[in-house]
Structure 1
Amino acid sequence: MASTTHLATPEDDARHTPGPGSLPLWNESLWFPFYDPESEVGVVLRAGIHANLGKANLFLFLTHRGTVVHSLIDHRLPVPPVEQGRLEMAGLVIEWLAPRERFRLRYRHGAHAMDVVWQGISPTYLYPHPPGVSFDQYPGHIEQGGAIHGTVTMAGVAHAIDCLGHRDHSWGGERDWAKFHRWNYLSGELGRDFWFNAVRIDFGPETDIRVGCVWDGRELLPLTSIELAVETADGGARQLGVDARLRDERGREYRVVGEEVLVNLPVQYGRTWLKDGITRYRSGDRVGYGILEHGYVEQPGGSVRSMV
């Protein structure tokens, strides 16, 4: 239902540990993307933890003017200790300055570095959760738009950052990338009073899940209809843009067009490809930036099965 306050609790947005009834692929992850059109600097990072497997993973990209300047992908990191308000792995430090509202992101690798503060511009949106089902069995998931200020340094050159961005936080359930037959995830900030999130996950040719939300500057509202026409190339392996038709629970309709993928950031999990495209979005006269994520399980011979 529509909300003007946080849907997630401080405990939801803290670090988590799997319980005795948790699944083998129990997962916790934090994802932060942002793009500054003034400096043309983009950053996407995801820190993931498969605690029951004793493994953590991280992908992090620093981009400038449509080019990847620095990237780190590591699928075999040790599980970081559970510290209150802090997560550290492979040179990345995420600090909870105020749960649900403010985070500090720091990173250093040679001549590349980042030190930014992420500040929420809306309450947190919490995906619906089945009643009576534990988070060990079914994941919790937070979405939120924010504003980012600080510095990103690439090859020793510091770039001032002052832009909008996004984040999500997932925990519990399982994250088995091989079960995601094909999916598209969209998020974008087109002002402090308008951000959106829309997802379609295909588990097979006849089964899909669609979920999302919109912030209108006053309320967070779930989306009741999500239609995504994704333009691709290379046999469906690379996203070029998207025409998204969305409807919120008050019946208001939105058309958001991903006009251009400025840079694509591919990560491979076994046979599953996850490709985060930093994208310029337009909705009417509004222009903003966000992510068009395109994912699929690669078929034998390297083909991509089309979405029904």
Structure 2
Amino acid sequence: MNYDVSWDKPHQAVDDVLWQESDAYWFYDTEQGIGGFHRIGQKPKLGKGQLTLFVFKTGAQRFVMSDGDRTEKELTSAARQESKQVVGGHTAEALGDARMRFTWEEPETSADLEFYEAFYEPRDWSKSGHSKDFMSNINSDGHLECSGKIRGVIRIGDSSYNIDALAHRDRSWGVRDNARVSMHRYRMFSGTVGPEMSFACFLLDLKGGQKMVAGFAKVEGQDYDVHDLRVITLLDSDGLTPLKSIGILTLESGEELRIETTSVQGFITPVREAYSVSQDHISTFIYKDKIGFMDLELCMNPGRGDYIPTKDDVTFVAVEQGLSGFSQYEY
């Protein structure tokens, strides 16, 4: 299905408490060392909005909001507009032609950003349809992935920065039941180096079901579905924090695309309805002498337990909510 501008706008919600709509994106300005992850979600039937925000400046400060009362807001009458979603002080607005404006306003941090350039036409996970049955359980109505560039102003603490960064965005709408997910080996591996190469893929299990993989890679103008994914991680002594990773993407042709990453900074998000936690790590990689960036999202939970890690359990990954000093990943 070809991209339509309506994909970026709020959709008509159905009468189901599990129906949700969300905008998420991640970015990294490699020259300034400024990056982050931002998600704005809504469950209209419940009248609730969900927020996740992580932003950092290497050598300076970082902010995380991924747990607690600040991450859930009552939806107001202005929450769902023709081209905009609003949750608390956070907005996602469709500007047309695959461009988006994202803002957030918190006491410790704020931003006004524009996703102004797409490296390819925004698209769904799979064109061959091999993940259709799975996606009906997670994104029943629609899904969008796109790599590109983002620019604007970010404030962290008392310091403000102008950025022009690589970015990747993810948009979904429909019924999503996280309780059906088994996150013991969940991986999402999505990023870009620029028009030359981008990728977006994931591995996930439904309870009682088989391993599911979906995604794609855009390499030198060619479009490939991803039919298998392995993510090998070098973990720190906490058994949680990935310092490096190797993503092996098996394309529909059988060819393997190998991407080796180095983690820059990350945070933990509790996923209590699935009795687990996920982590996101903004990371870098090299492709033909160019520095790219990606988000490694994963769950380290082979025992399928429900313990939520605390600050004392980790080395560098951010768990403590709010503003704190930057923590350098070292090994």
Normalization by structure 2: what TM-score? Answer: 0.78
Structure 1 letter corresponding to 2:210: T
1:65 and 1:144, CA in 2 relative to 1: closer, same or farther beyond 3 A?
A: same
Alignment of 1:7-22 (within 5 A): 7-20=2-15, 22=16
Percent sequence identity is 21
Aligned residues between the structures: 293
AA aligned opposite 2:269: V
Q: Is the 8 A contact 1:225 1:248 kept in 2?
A: yes
Match of 1:170 in 2: 172
Unaligned runs of 5+ in 1: 1-5, 304-308
Tell me what 2:93 maps to.
95
Matched, 1:79 2:78: no
**Alignment-mate amino acid for residue 8 of structure 1:** Y
Deviation at 1:62, TM superposition (A): 1.7
Alignment partner of 2:49 out of 49, 56, 69:
56
Q: CA deviation at 1:255?
A: 0.8
Q: CA deviation at 1:284?
A: 5.4
Deviation at 1:267, TM superposition (A): 1.4
Separation (CA, whole Å) in 1 of partners of 2:259 and 2:204? 19
* C-alpha contact (below 8 Å) 2:244/2:260 kept by paired residues: yes
Aligned-pair CA distance for 1:117:
1.1
Residue 158 of structure 1 corresponds to 160
5+ residue gaps, structure 2, are: 310-331
What is the rounded CA distance, in whole Å, between the counterparts of 1:84 and 1:211 in structure 2?
A: 30
Identify the match of residue 289 of structure 1 among 283, 293, 298.
293
Q: Using a 3 Å threshold, how does the CA distance of structure 1 residues 94 and 275 change in structure 2: closer, same or farther?
A: same
Task: Give the superposition deviation at 1:249.
Answer: 3.2
For residue 135 of structure 1, report the CA deviation from its aligned partner.
Answer: 9.1
Structure 2 residue 69 is matched with structure 1 residue 69: no
Once the two structures are superposed, residues 94-127 of structure 1 have per-residue CA deviations (whole angstroms, 9 ceiling, x without a partner) of: 221115x101122222363212211222111213
| Structure 2 residue matching 1:181: 3-state secondary structure | strand
CA distance change for structure 1 residues 105 and 301 in 2, over 3 Å: closer, same or farther?
closer
Q: Distance in 1 between matches of 2:265 and 2:144?
A: 25
Matches within 5 A, 1:113-192: 113-119=110-116, 120-128=118-126, 130=132, 138-176=140-178, 179-182=181-184, 183-192=186-195
Q: Secondary structure at the match of 1:11?
A: helix
Matched residue SS, 1:59: strand
Alpha-carbon distance between aligned partners in 1 of 2:210 and 2:282, rounded to the nearest angstrom: 28
- Report deviation, 1:296: 5.6
CA 1:140/1:150 → structure 2, altered by over 3 Å: closer, same or farther? same
In the other structure, the counterpart of 2:317 is none
CA drift of 1:237 comes to 3.1
The amino acid that maps onto 1:280 is T
Contact 1:264 / 1:276 at 8 angstroms: preserved in 2?
Answer: yes
Whichever residue aligns with residue 10 of structure 2, its letter is R
Q: Give runs of aligned pairs for residues 13-52 of structure 1, distance below 5 A.
A: 13-20=8-15, 22=16, 24-52=17-45
Q: Give the Å deviation of 1:233.
A: 4.1
Task: Kindly indicate whether the alpha-carbon contact (under 8 Å) linking 2:90 and 2:104 is maintained by their aligned counterparts in 1.
Answer: yes
- SS, match of residue 94 in structure 2: strand
1:86 and 1:272 map into 2 onto residues whose CA distance is 31
Structure 2 distance, partners of 1:34, 1:149, is 10
Q: Distance in 2 between matches of 1:144 and 1:137?
A: 16
Distance 1:155 1:137 in 2: 36
- Does the Cα contact within 8 Å between 1:178 and 1:272 map onto a contact in 2? no
The alpha carbon displacement at 1:92 in A equals: 1.5
Distance in 1, matches of 2:308 and 2:107, equals: 35
Equivalence for 2:305: 299
Select 1:105's aligned residue among 92, 102, 106: 102
Asked if residue 238 in structure 1 is aligned to residue 234 in structure 2, the reply is: no
